[in-house]
């Protein structure tokens, strides 16, 4: 279960970084794509800090 959660969190993190870079190439949706990248990175950090702490008991 921990390996699966790590893979999901890692994919959210890498996807968030990719969205950061992609946000500068979009036309009128720069802020939306940037905020989506920020949300993806926040989710990637919330998985191990909050969700996995409760399932390891």
Give the residue, 27 or 45, on which the prediction is more confident: 45
**Alpha carbon 43 to chain centroid, angstroms:** 5
Q: Per residue in 13-35, pLDDT tens?
A: 999 999 999 998 888 889 999 99
Q: Give, to the nearest 10 degrees, the angle between helix 2-23 and helix 30-46.
A: 160
pTM of the model: 0.80
Q: Is the pLDDT confidence value at 37 over 60? A: yes
CA 32-13-48 angle, 5° bins: 120
| Predicted local distance difference test score (pLDDT) of residue 57 | 55
| Predicted local distance difference test score (pLDDT) of residue 44 | 94
| Predicted local distance difference test score (pLDDT) of residue 53 | 66
């Amino acid at each position: 279960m921990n390996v699966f959660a790590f893979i999901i969190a890692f994919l959210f993190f890498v996807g968030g970084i990719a969205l950061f870079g992609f946000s500068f190439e979009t036309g009128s949706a720069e802020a939306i794509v940037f905020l989506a990248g920020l949300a993806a990175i926040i989710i990637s950090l919330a998985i191990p800090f909050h969700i996995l702490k409760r399932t390891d008991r």
